[in-house]
Amino acid sequence: MLVFIIRRLTQSAIVVAVMSVLVFAGIFAIGDPIDVLISPEADEAERAAAIARLGLDRPMHEQFLAFAQEAAKGDLGRSFVHGVPALDIVLQRFPATLELALAAMLIAVLLGIPLGVWAGLRPDGIAGRTIMTGSILGFSLPTFWVGMLLIMIFAVTLGWLPAGGRGATREILGVPFSFLTADGLAHLVLPAINLALFKISLVIRLARAGTREVALQDYVKFARAKGLSARRVVGVHILKNIMIPVVTVLGLELGSVIAFSVVTETVFAWPGMGKLLIDSILQLDRPVVVAYLMVTVLLFVVINLVVDLLYSLLDPRIRLGGSRS
């Protein structure tokens, strides 16, 4: 197990290093920040001074080395626009995005798994077919459109829920969270559902496919032949087996939910990292964009690592090694 963890950590470090090169190279592709940062009236001397101050006059590989050195110390540069450390800006927005992503995941699991298992147990029943049709809708409707629809129905027409923002927050360990206040929770519901929509469909499909396969296994027949209740057969024997792929995929999806909550955050004006990214790209604020990308890469890597560990916890064949006595 220890060897396993060390090996995965090494792999993760390599991934982070490679990604930092790619991110840095990629960032040169989006415009020249000088045009945005310096007033059009500035003369050549002012312009040159600014370029030198920001280090934009040096060749790319030198800029990268300087960046990498600082990055290793946890310094991803200062925002061109705000003048404060870029990492701080990104991390400040991180809790909002994390909260939204976790809420969406929770909804996806709580709805997706029971619906998927149900559809898997009765693939030809009316309920099973309805669930599958619903999941196709969840897959194919565009997120921004559903988001606006949700706002139209629940915020504008019915007036039940607020249309945007985080609402009132309460702090845990200095970090503000919405779900701790009634008002914040009300603000969280619509964006979380919007972000969850795609994932619910995904979980339904995974759970259904897993259930259909597992339900035909001999060990399920054997479990029934022992006289176990249907609840125990489904809730323990089937569920524990389908959880392996579901946890794996969901874990990996958590990264993408965080990274790509951009659309939902924009539609619902949710002040998270995604909205920050869009704003920063528009302002060509390179350090913030780099910081965002690096944080996201790190998140993906950490999540992958955790998923691998979870996976091995769920599956004794991996946890205990494949040896036969």
Partner 1 sequence: MNQDQPMKGQQIEAGAPLLRVEGLRTEFETRAGAVRAVDGVDLEIRRGEILGLVGESGSGKSVTGLSLLGLVDPPGRVGGRILFEGEDLARAGERRLRHIRGARIAMIFQDPMMTLNPVLSVETQMVEAVLAHARVTREEARRRSRDALARVGIPSPEERLRAYPHQFSGGMRQRVAIAIALLHAPALIIADEPTTALDVTIQAQILFEVQKLCRETGTALLWITHDLAVVSTLADRIAVMYAGRIVETGSVAEVIDTPRHPYTRGLINSVPSRNRRGQPLAQIPGMTPSLLDLPRGCAFRPRCPRAQEDCQEEPGLFGAGHRWRCFHPEPVPAMGPATEVRA
Please report whether residue 306 would count as binding partner 1 according to CB under 8 A: no
Shortest Å, Cβ 276 to partner 1: 41
Residue of 51, 91, 185, 223 interacting with partner 1 (CB under 8 A)? 223
Comparing CA positions, the residue from 196, 190, 181, 188 lying closest to residue 99 is 188
Shortest Å, Cβ 204 to partner 1: 21
Output the DSSP codes for 131-192.
Answer: HHHHHHHHHHS-HHHHHHHHIIIIIIIS--S--SS--S-EEETTEEESTTSHHHHHHHHHHH
Could you tell me which residues are beta bridge partners of residue 176?
A: 171
Please report whether residue 314 would count as binding partner 1 according to CB under 8 A: yes
The burial of 65, by beta-carbon neighbours within 10 Å (0-12 exposed, 13-18 middle, 19 or more buried), is given as exposed
Contacting partner 1 within 236-275 (CB under 8 A) = 236-237, 240-241, 244
Residue of 134, 175, 224, 309 interacting with partner 1 (CB under 8 A)? 224
Shortest Å, Cβ 228 to partner 1: 5
By CB under 8 A, the count of residues binding partner 1 is 30
Nearer to partner 1, 281 or 314 (CB): 314
Comparing CA positions, the residue from 204, 233, 218, 202 lying closest to residue 117 is 204
Q: Is the dihedral of CA 222, 225, 226, 229 positive or negative?
A: positive
Please report whether residue 221 would count as binding partner 1 according to CB under 8 A: yes
| Residue 268: strand, helix, or coil | coil
Nearer to partner 1, 50 or 244 (CB): 244
Interface contacts to partner 1, rule CB under 8 A: 216-230, 232, 236-237, 240-241, 244, 314-317, 320, 322-325
